[in-house]
Chains A and B, each alone.
Chain A
Amino acid sequence: MALSGGPASWLPLKASTGQRLTVGLFLGGSLLGLVGTVLSLLDPGAATLLLPWGFPWGRFAVVIDPLSAFFLWLIFTVPALGSVYSLSYWRAAEHPDNSQRLGFFYGLLAASMGMVVIARDSILFLIVWEIMALSAYFAAAVEDDRPEVRQAGWIYLVATHIGTLILIAMFALWYRETASFALLTPVAVPLSRAGIIFVLAVLGFGFKAGLMPLHLWLPGAHANAPSHVSAVMSGVMLKMGLYGIIRVSGLLLQLESWWGWLLLVVGSISGLYAIALALSQRDLKRALAYSSIENVGIMAMGIGLALLGRASNRPELVLLGLGGALFHILNHGLFKSLLFFNAGAIIHAGRTRDLEQMGGLGKNMPVTAGLFLVGAVAICALPPLNGFASEWLIYLGLFKTLAAASPANLALAGGAAVVLAMIGALALATFVKLYGTIFLGSSRAPAAPPAHDPEASMKIPMFCLAFASIFLGLLPSLIAPLLEKAVRLWAPLLASGLTLAALVPQLWLTYVGSGIIIIIAGWACWQKILRQGKAVSRGVTWDCGYAKPTAKMQYTGTSLSQPLVRLFSFALRPGTLKNLTNLPFPGKSEMQNFVPDAVLERLVLPVFQRCSRFIPKVYIFQHGQTHLYVLYVLLICIALFVFSGIGGGL
């Protein structure tokens, strides 16, 4: 019972006697929550709390099972680190008008996410879901004096409410089929209805998770939020959407294989398209946001594989697919938060998000550069860090579909492994570009203030996340029991004897990973000793004989990604703004390349603008005269009476 007390105790954060108190309370709440999560794992019986409440429907049903517990790890750690980070990043003294508001909604956001993963009643779920969505809005749009923040917040609000509407429809259908709002035990819903519920869940939760093409709100909201809020949104809140998909599909006993194909295809498209967009961004935080969509796509592929495995009775696919997806959820929460914290440190030092104004920061900010490198290597899924450990599971699951015994068309899922490989290569290009343009070379902004590493309270959270990324990369087998428990809960058909250790030799990652690190460290020391007697001279960069290279001559991030953008121009639709003059005495000419979000700018916004041309015609009904409004109420009542009368007559 101590468990649900954890998240609830975060609520007193309203106490605005200062940021420190807020952070202290927040840390206390998180710690309590972590203790609760550990206790719930030790206790074999699921920790359940059922209370009646005043609402006519539903009840207060809260359960912590291994699946919720897995998400709770993330919810209780990343936001807590973010709140420490905010001490220097969002100093109350520098932001007197909004730091209290941010602190309050930040706490509320974390607490409501904790409630989302343990709520087991449709009504309660929708309530906490809405609290989460709204507090995220207020936390992200805290700088509401800037127009682009308001614009991004507005798009977010519209998107999240469309998602919630779809979820309400889904839960209504759920109630109709099961005659209960409870989400406690798996139910056998007729396949045709179950399919509709599943599709609605993918749509509704997909808005939150950022699956393409439902991701429209995501890049803008992440780019314009304070960095620790972006970190929590990207590292944790997106995963709530995936949690929803996993939970709902777990509650449906019967399923068909097309559910798995749907998620596999949607995940592949999200992954490929989002990483191509990430590659082409000029804005650091937008690029990171698109890369989150890509990672959500990878997780969706894992879940899709698990659904395929369940439909075709292949427990190893379920374990590798869902296990890999859950592990990747955890890993992405760690390294993406690290990267967003890093972005915050860079913005703090350089006051810009524009990649083309950066360069050479590695010399002045060695700690930030090193930590960014850890995050970048991890997110590209390169060994020996944790990104590889989780993608490895998904890859192996996809390759296991090839086994001769499986149904013939299942092997097509192997093709998703190729998509994953291509995503990996594009992610590598993206993060080489980000790391190279920000930290390497020399500064592109001539008058930039000298950058410096951030204060300890920003560095410590980053160190914790980087350490966790390395640790989980080297010892992925530690997390395996938690994954197995969660997966077993999701798919009861799983034979209890099947373990990850039996399927994949995770210990090898430990050996090879520690081997790589030891050799690199040893070599570095040896080089240092060896170099002592050698002549090392310093010079300028060799530019084919040109003796005075300047920072302007460097390759920019845009030019680095240009060949790939051109290769994918059929999908990315890059645009160019030109103002080139051909006069005898040319004046100032300029050219700019940009890649818009094709879904938002070429599809959704035009449609909305088209609509806004017709919508004013509805304004004639809205004229502020109360007696006419009363008439509307009356008319609607009569219409309802007539309608229900006809309905009853039939």
Chain B
Amino acid sequence: MIDLMVHLLFLLLLPPLLMGIINKTKAGFAGRRGAPLLQRYYDILKLLRKGMVLSATTTWVFQAGPLITLIAVLLAGLLVPLGSSPALFSFTGDFLLFAYLFGLARFFTTSAALDTGSAFEGMGASREVTFAVLTEPAMFFAFLVLARLSASLSLAGMLHSRFVALDYPGSVAPMVMILLGLFIVFLAENSRIPVDDPTTHLELTMIHEVMVLDHSGPLLGVIEYASALKFFVLGSVLINIVMPLYTDRPWLNWLMFTSGMIGLAFLVGTIESITGRLRLPRVPALLIVAVLLCSSAFVILLR
């Protein structure tokens, strides 16, 4: 019970902190002091109190987009195991719901972007749906590998069961491969470098930031929060794969999990500092690498 409460609290409160950690890391690499760790919380609270400007072209879809996205991502967050909590809901086939909730979010984010009738946001929507066509297969190959290894068809079973990868000699390589593949998917889905650059939005090459160009005030706050939440939820899947071991002490599990998430944010910040964004036509190649990694993992496992 306490675990579930902690799950909910972490899910709701932790995500913006990770954004702060990424920005601090990047500032550190650049030799700056950077914004405070809690800056993203301040931003979101500030935005929620503001008024907003709506384009005369838009309809209700424009306003529904961010809300449905947030609800979908939040529900997905209830399905993943975090720390020592096995997930709020868990049932056979919930991983499909998990994947398709992100699809629902994508549908409404891109529709809201198209509602403005702006060329920029159309470009963003176009790229978002394009890259999803390559990230989804990678994700499902990874699910196949996890389902085969854990003999379970629920997220909690796949990620939180105590199957020990090392017990099974053939399973280490597939696990490492899907981990790499999923990490690329994670960067793409969260619009991070090298796929997308979250710090600018006026260039023609952007994806996520350009789709939300017209949102302002509370709606923008909701979007900021939802994207931090998405980072947290997808990141926790990675952390679960890296650290499938759990102790009997809940506090230790939560500590391990939290330090894992902080480490992930640090890693993302480091990647953003030391690499550049790929040219847009090269992005599919990167995503195909992710698909190949995950599919080879599946083939190795079946061999």
Residues of A at under 8 Å CB distance from B? 359-360, 362-363, 366, 369, 373, 376-377, 380-383, 388, 392, 395-396, 399-400, 402-404, 408, 411-412, 414-415, 417-418, 420-422, 424-426, 428-429, 431-433, 435-437, 440-442, 503-505, 508-509, 511-512, 515-516, 519-520, 523-524, 527, 534-544, 549, 551, 553-555, 559-564, 567
Contacts and interface: CB of A to CB of B under 8 A. Distances in A.
A425 B57 contact: no
A440 B117 contact: yes
24 contacts: A360-B117, A388-B100, A396-B93, A414-B298, A422-B136, A425-B103, A432-B125, A440-B115, A442-B57, A511-B89, A512-B89, A516-B71, A523-B67, A536-B54, A541-B55, A541-B116, A541-B118, A543-B119, A543-B120, A554-B122, A555-B118, A555-B122, A562-B126, A567-B133
Interface string B93-134: 110110111011011001100111111111101110110110
B202 interface: yes
Given A412-B302, A555-B122, A538 B56 contact: yes
A211 B96 CA distance: 26
Given A442-B57, A535-B51, A539-B53, A508 B89 contact: yes
B139 A555 contact: no
Q: DSSP class of A's interface residues: helix, strand, loop or mixed?
A: helix
B238 interface: no
* Most chain A beta carbons < 10 A, residue from B51, B103, B137: B103
Contact of B54 (A359, A509, A520, A537): A537
B56 A415 contact: no
Contact of A395 (B93, B114, B115): B93
Interface stretch (B141-149, B248-256, B271-279): B141-149
B125 A441 contact: no
Given A382-B104, A399-B143, 10 more contacts: A383-B104, A399-B153, A424-B100, A425-B103, A431-B107, A440-B59, A508-B94, A515-B75, A539-B54, A564-B133
A383 B97 contact: yes
Given A508-B94, A560-B125, A429 B117 contact: no
Contacts of A440: 59, 61, 111, 114-115, 117
B25 interface: no
Among all A-B residue pairs, the 3 with the closest Cβ atoms = A555-B122, A441-B117, A535-B51
B237 interface: no
A396 B96 contact: yes
Determine which residue in B94, B202, B213, B302 has the highest number of CB atoms from chain A within 10 A of its CB, and name it: B302
Nearest to A550: B117
Interface residues of B, number: 71
B148 A402 contact: yes
Contacts of B51: 534-537
A512 B100 CA distance: 12
Nearest to A363: B59
A360 B126 CA distance: 18
B148 A377 contact: no
Interface string B209-248: 0000110011000000000000000000000000000000
A519 B54 CA distance: 23
B55 A538 contact: yes
Contacts of A538: 53-56
A382 B68 CA distance: 12
Contacts of B68: 520
A559 B117 contact: no
A542 B133 contact: no
A463 to B, nearest CB: 19
A541 B115 CA distance: 10
Contacts of B94: 508
Contacts of A549: 117-118
Contacts of A412: 302
Contacts of A535: 51-52
Contacts of A516: 71-72, 75
B296 interface: no
A555 B126 contact: yes
Nearest to B149: A402
A441 B115 contact: yes
Contacts of B116: 441, 541-542
